[in-house]
Homo-oligomer: A and B are copies of this chain.
Amino acid sequence: MPLTLTPVLDIPYIHAGDDLAEIILRAFERNKIELLDGDIVVVAQKIVSKAEGRLVDLKSITPSARAIELAEPTQKDARLVEIILRESNGVLRIRPGTIIVEHRQGFVCASAGVDHSNVGKAGWAPDDTTEAEDWVLLLPEDSDASALALRQRLEQASGARLGVLIIDSHGRAWRLGTVGVAIGVSGLTGLADLRGQPDLFGYQLRITQVGVADELAAAASLVMGQAAEGTPVVHVRGFPYPLREASLRELLRPKNEDLFR
């Protein structure tokens, strides 16, 4: 069976408080895509965060001593550094322009996923006189919970057994370019455990775990593109791993087993 990823077009601009599930369901109707058992809906973090009102006005932030200390070597606004620190369990690396942290939710990424682009002016900040440059967008409060809540709504409306994946774009050690990664997982295999499955000749496989939710996130990221918010939702049919209860946590390497902290 082919794996098919279809962009769900014409998702409107999302505002704080919007009913994202309803907006996505209507978009599926307009795109004439029926949700069937086994389908997966992949959603860009940005529209989840916006619907959840995860905007912060930098003018409201008083940086801590630690944030002020990190502002110079990272060449970042101390108020932005303060937000990044509040969103993080710890800092892994800094250098001019870059701060790599472990996010509260356990994954490692740049700037705790705090986003300064595409925040926009009109209809976005509480009033239109607010300068967009002063606003930043945080990741969802709890991406797994957001994925679960969205999945429940989509399943109720469609009657289908679905998976929902919330994705962001992360840079990587050793390789250039961001790739899509899972930050919230509900209803689909996150980590596929192939331990004990023999290969063609009956040897035990050595590479035993596959980050299939991250592979799907990367695939969906291709379809979403990067330059605009035009395609923040992708419909997936033919995902070749079981739909089951799942969590982002299964994809996170325990700190004490990590050689690159």
Which residues from chain A sit less than 8 Å from chain B, CB to CB? Answer: 2-7, 13, 93, 95, 98, 100, 107-108, 116-121, 132, 169, 171-181, 191-192, 194, 197-201, 203-207, 209-212, 214-216, 218-219, 221-223, 225-229, 239-241, 250-253, 258-261
Q: Which residues from B are CB-within-8-Å of A6?
A: 2-3
Q: Are A175 and B118 touching (Cβ within 8 A)?
A: no
Closest to A115 in B: B206
Q: Are A175 and B214 touching (Cβ within 8 A)?
A: yes
Partner of A179 from B173, B199, B218 at Cβ < 8 Å: B218
Identical copies in the complex: 2
**Distance A204 CA – B133 CA, assembled complex (angstroms):** 12
Q: Which residues from B are CB-within-8-Å of A210?
A: 169, 177-179, 221, 226
Q: A172-B172, A179-B214, A260-B260 are in contact. List 15 more A-B contacts (CB 8 A).
A: A2-B6, A3-B4, A93-B259, A93-B260, A98-B259, A100-B259, A107-B175, A119-B201, A120-B201, A171-B207, A177-B192, A177-B209, A179-B215, A216-B219, A216-B222
Q: Are A253 and B175 touching (Cβ within 8 A)?
A: yes
Partner of A219 from B205, B219, B228, B241 at Cβ < 8 Å: B219
Q: Are A178 and B207 touching (Cβ within 8 A)?
A: yes
Q: Which residues from B are CB-within-8-Å of A214?
A: 175, 177, 179, 218
Partner of A176 from B181, B191, B216 at Cβ < 8 Å: B191
**Distance A192 CA – B181 CA, assembled complex (angstroms):** 17
A180 to chain B, nearest CB (A): 6
**Distance A107 CA – B173 CA, assembled complex (angstroms):** 10
**Distance A251 CA – B258 CA, assembled complex (angstroms):** 23
Q: Which residues from B are CB-within-8-Å of A258?
A: 173-174
**Distance A260 CA – B228 CA, assembled complex (angstroms):** 30
